[in-house]
Chains A and B, each alone.
Chain A
Amino acid sequence: MLQVTDLHAAVIGAEDAEILKSLSLTLNAGEVHAIMGPNGSGKSTFANVLMGRPDYVVNSGSVKFDGEDILEMVPDQRALRGMFLAFQYPAEIPGVRPWQFLKAALDARREFAGEDPLSVRNFSALFDGKVKDVGIDPDLVKRSLNEGFSGGEKKRHEMLQLEMLEPRLAILDETDSGLDVDALRIVAEGVNNLRSTERSFLIVTHYQRLLNYIKPDVVHILVDGRIVETGGADLAMAVENTGYEQFINAADD
């Protein structure tokens, strides 16, 4: 489903100081991969480059989604093809209601798929149901998008979007940071409920604790813009026990 080959990327304006240095991985349909790494290893950059954040530039390499090269595509084109990024720091947008925003997002996606937009009534029923499932305070979705949301509320709101839009590839960018155990469980439940043979997840995280609730098929350790180790769920446990030190040392060798 996702094939990343020898990806080199940097922040625009600092093209020479590469953050991602030859990153390659293959994520098949139905798989859950975790990307773990110390601060500054390039985890979030990777998640954002995949979604096409305009702050970054790709120096070389390729990213294919369903065999299609997506690096030339704008973020909305990637989203319409089934990619999704759960943000670490969701933007606040005054005056825009979550309902209105999600309706527009879902309509755009349905239109791209050649489907009619959902009627207001059908959309509302779906929306209200998901709000309940995700455990969001219904008063919250009457406010402006992410405005005045606590850290946990923002993350739940990201999960609401994930459940509404049902992407085929969901990238979670440190969704667990700043969450208490209850919120962590809700995020995990959301992911686990959506796991299917058709849908893949790429979970970017610093800590192993989210992986107590979501069992990954594959764990990658990212250090200094390169994947230095790939293994099963037990690799995450190794990180939990001994930290990133061993991998950093290995990368330096």
Chain B
Amino acid sequence: MVTPNSISRESDLSGGEYKWGFVTEVEQDFAPQGLNEAIVRLISAKKDEPEWLLEWRLQAYRHWVKMTKDRGEPDWAMIEYPAIDYDNIYYYAAPKSSQTEAPKSLADVDPEMLATFEKLGIPLQEREKLAGVAIDAVFDSVSVATTYTEQLEKLGIIFCSFSEAVKNHPDLVKKYLGSVVPYSDNFFASLNSAVFSDGSFAYIPPGVRCPIELMTYFRMNAEGTGQFERTLIVADEGAYVSYLEGCTAPFRKTSQLHAAVVELVALKDGEIKYSTIQNWFPGTKEGEGGVYNFVTKRGICRGANSKISWTQVETGSAITWKYPSVILQGDDSVGEFYSVALANNHQQADTGTKMIHIGKNTKSTIVAKGISAGQGQNTYRGQVKIMPTAENAVNHTQCDSLLVGDRCGAHTVPYIEVRNPTAQLEHEASTSKVSDDQLFYLRARGISEEEAHHMIITGWSRDVIKELPFEFAMEAGQLLKVSLEGAVG
């Protein structure tokens, strides 16, 4: 479980196929272990937060305590894990070199941090290969660097760590924080609201099309630490932004808890495209360790003709529990969800989406693909809800499962609730295996068994992967390959 002390340092263990499992040796500033009101106050104080935010955190904390006593964690998902001891987790860990003040420029960033992100393939030096992408790099509980901020500022775009946003743009934060995912939303969202440490904030002003991709790279490093980041993105009227999120964690035999909240707000004619590659450490082949990923992601199309699109490739984590959703409030608004979730070895994924249609002529598309291999268990759980006000709402859902081997499982749990007779809904579902005919066909042309599997699986996932920005699509293909190593043959 999430204990920091059962095994000391695992950096010498072989990481198996997980190539991001290294540990950065860096002096960390920890808050004491465990969770109580004092810890919440301490986190808030460390960040020098205004009173209203502390109050909000405390309300969330009290709500969470109540929930812990009442029902505890949600138990409806198709996942199994030993009880989480919330007193055994560090809720705040920050590299000592990072002050509460973010570094003014990359020159001020700890070289050890730069090296860490370099090693992860995320060069923070702006001239490097990810040129054209602005990056906010989050290491454990804090943001260590944000690139391109000046160039973006000229367009009126705000892209910074959440902590900085609280300092420099308190009105915007106050206006939107919790407006999509209230602190009382669910167990893990309440926990996050109480102890969230950092994350990214983006605001695109009216009529501005953000010319580059914004990206946050989350790195979990410290042992026995939970990561609770909070992301808030607002596309004002007529604004557009494409945002990317990547995540990795070291190889450890003890599990780590990750409970993030992401809120998206799109105003009239605004559009947000949100892409995730989630590659948290999945645990060992034997099912030890790995990240418990309990995440609440939700967007609201608040204005007419707005659009929110989620694309996710979920290859990591021992447990994935996440349902990026869209509330379609504005008339003619559009919600999309494209997902590939992979569960190999002992991984468990319970993921899907919710599309809540409120406005007229709202439209949603769901393409969810689950790959199960080894003893992995993959569940699609989705809800489409058409409210009485949603005249002429349209939903199309496509839900496909692919099985590799005969010890894994695929499950589909769709909920459909229609309260307006003008709605049009389609639901397609399929389950297939990589067929021997397909494999033989490719191998008869000289393609190796492993490569043939990879080709069939990425081909099968293509409808989702093609929604990703180019660089990310390449990475996603590679990740699927690496994550399935050893699952075939």
Residues of A within 8 A of B (CB): 51-55, 74-76, 78-80, 84-85, 87, 89-96, 100-102, 104-105, 108-109, 112, 144-145, 161, 165
Contacts and interface: CB of A to CB of B under 8 A. Distances in A.
Nearest to B446: A79
A101 B441 CA distance: 11
27 contacts: A75-B443, A75-B444, A76-B444, A79-B443, A84-B444, A84-B445, A87-B441, A91-B435, A92-B438, A93-B442, A93-B455, A94-B459, A96-B455, A96-B456, A101-B445, A101-B447, A101-B455, A105-B442, A105-B445, A108-B445, A108-B446, A108-B447, A112-B446, A144-B459, A161-B445, A165-B445, A165-B446
A95 B442 contact: no
A109 B455 contact: no
B17 interface: no
Contacts of B460: 94-95
A79 B444 contact: yes
Contacts of B435: 91
B446 A80 contact: yes
A23 to B, nearest CB: 20
Contacts of B3: none
Contact of B440 (A84, A91, A109): A91
B444 to A, nearest CB: 5
A35 B71 CA distance: 72
Interface string B448-479: 11011001101111110000000000000000
Contacts of A165: 445-446
A105 B447 contact: yes
Interface in B373-403: none
The 8 tightest CB contacts between A and B, nearest first, are A95-B459, A95-B462, A96-B459, A79-B446, A105-B445, A91-B441, A75-B443, A91-B437
Contacts of B441: 87, 90-91, 93
A100 B442 CA distance: 12
Interface of B: 435-438, 440-449, 451-452, 455-456, 458-463
A93 B459 contact: yes
Contacts of B463: 95
Contacts of A101: 442, 445, 447, 455
B488 to A, nearest CB: 13
A155 B86 CA distance: 62
Contacts of A89: 437
B458 A74 contact: no
A85 B443 CA distance: 11
Given A76-B452, A105-B446, A108-B445, 5 more contacts: A87-B441, A108-B447, A112-B446, A161-B445, A165-B445
B448 A76 contact: yes
Nearest to A97: B459
A145 B439 CA distance: 13
Contacts of A76: 443-449, 452
B363 to A, nearest CB: 24
A91 B438 contact: yes
B442 A109 contact: no
Nearest to B448: A76
B216 to A, nearest CB: 29
A108 B435 CA distance: 22
B72 to A, nearest CB: 41
A105 B440 CA distance: 13
Contacts of A109: 446
B444 A51 contact: yes
A120 to B, nearest CB: 14
Contacts of B445: 76, 79, 84, 101-102, 105, 108, 161, 165
Nearest to B466: A95
Given A95-B462, A96-B456, A55 B446 contact: no
Nearest to A75: B443
Contacts of B438: 91-93
A100 to B, nearest CB: 8
Contacts of A92: 438
Given A93-B438, A104-B451, A108-B448, A74 B443 contact: yes
Contacts of B449: 74, 76
Nearest to A83: B444
Nearest to A111: B446
B400 to A, nearest CB: 9
A109 B436 CA distance: 22
Given A76-B446, A91-B435, A161-B445, A104 B440 contact: no
A120 B443 CA distance: 22
B450 to A, nearest CB: 10
A213 B458 CA distance: 40
Contacts of B444: 51-52, 75-76, 78-79, 84-85, 87
A154 to B, nearest CB: 11
Nearest to B464: A95
Contacts of A90: 441
A173 to B, nearest CB: 11
Contact of B436 (A55, A100, A112, A144): A55
A100 B459 CA distance: 10
